Structure 1
Amino acid sequence: MELNPWMESVSGVEPPRKPGRAALRVVADLLGEKPRTVYAWYRRDRIPSFGAALNITLKSKGAVDWNGIFIPFARAAIEVGGRDVA
């Protein structure tokens, strides 16, 4: 599973709606991160650190793996012509 769909499911927001910063607070609390940080991951403005990615994998009980975290960021970078998303 990719990171954003997992965050949507944890926040309780039903597609096609997108969670806002307030809805992602549930995810931030679960992960022990700031809501701003989780929202930046959701918008793909920032990539989770190694430690954060490990925590996501553990807290999601393996539903989100490394590929589910990092492949969407790589795909977004390629789509926008190599924009630095780090």
Structure 2
Amino acid sequence: MAILPNPDVTAVVLEDGCLELHSQQSEKPIRCAPVNTAMWIAMRQNGGHLDAVADLLADLWDVDPGRVRSDLDLWVNELGNAGLVHDAP
């Protein structure tokens, strides 16, 4: 399964490395830390396949892939609750 942004979501990476996600469902943009910016970019580059994202970032950051996957799952859950992403087959 893959996680994809909803059609109305746009992303802007700010000069400070933070990510702003804009959606018609939110009154104001959701601002994310630079670590989440990296996760978002990796998700988009890997078609939303979270295992591939976790492996890529774990390798880049020299940390355990399970730890990255756990953090990624928590963040994706928050994005889903905010109506920004959805599961794709």
TM-score range, shorter chain: 0.3 to 0.5
- When you count strand as a share of all residues, which structure comes out higher? 2
* More relative contact order, 1 or 2 (CA 8 Å, 6+ apart): 2
Q: Normalising to structure 1: TM-score of the pair?
A: 0.37
